[in-house]
Amino acid sequence: MTVVRAALVQTTWTGDKESMIVVHEQYLRDAAARGAQVICFQELFYGPYFCQVQDKQYYAYAESVPGPTTERFQALAKELGMVIVLPVYEREDPFLYNTAAVIDADGSLLGKYRKQHIPHVGGFWEKFYFRPGNGGYPVFDTAVGKVGVYICYDRHFPEGWRALGLNGAQIVFNPSATSRGLSEYLWRIEQPAAAVANEYYVGAINRVGIEDLGDDDFYGQSYFVDPEGNYVGDKGDTHQPELIIRDLDLDLIQTVRERWAFYRDRRPDAYDDLVRP
**DSSP type of residue 133:** P
Better pLDDT: 59 or 180 = 59
User: If you average pLDDT over every residue of the chain, what do you get?
Assistant: 97
Q: Which pLDDT tens digit goes with each residue over 181-224?
A: 878 999 999 999 999 999 999 999 999 999 999 888 999 999 99
CA distances from 167 to 54, 121, 152, 211, 229 (A): 36, 31, 20, 37, 20
Identify the band that residue 159 occupies on the pLDDT scale cut at 50, 70 and 90: very high
Query: Does the structure show a pLDDT above 70 at 241?
Result: yes
* Residue 43 annotated among the catalytic residues of the structure: yes
Angle at 250 between CA 41 and CA 229, to 5 degrees: 75
Once rounded to an integer, what is the mean pLDDT over residues 114-138?
Answer: 96
Once rounded to an integer, what is the mean pLDDT over residues 98-118?
Answer: 98
Query: Annotated catalytic residue: which of 51, 90, 152, 190?
Result: 152
Query: Does the structure show a pLDDT above 90 at 275?
Result: no
Q: Which pLDDT tens digit goes with each residue over 34-70?
A: 999 999 999 999 999 999 999 999 999 999 999 999 9
Percent of the chain clearing pLDDT 70 (strictly above) = 100
Model pLDDT, residue 277: 85
Once rounded to an integer, what is the mean pLDDT over residues 136-158?
Answer: 98
* Residue 40 annotated among the catalytic residues of the structure: no
Model pLDDT, residue 266: 95
Query: Annotated catalytic residue: which of 40, 43, 190, 211?
Result: 43
State the Cα–Cα distance between residues 211 and 14, nearest whole angstrom.
Answer: 10
Query: Does the structure show a pLDDT above 70 at 1?
Result: no
Model pLDDT, residue 135: 95
Query: Annotated catalytic residue: which of 40, 90, 115, 146?
Result: 115
Model pLDDT, residue 12: 97
State the Cα–Cα distance between residues 120 and 126, nearest whole angstrom.
Answer: 5
* Residue 17 annotated among the catalytic residues of the structure: no
State the Cα–Cα distance between residues 210 and 276, nearest whole angstrom.
Answer: 39
Number of H helices, E strands in the chain: 6, 15
Tell the burial category of 34 from Cβ atoms under 10 Å away from its Cβ (0-12, 13-18, 19+): exposed
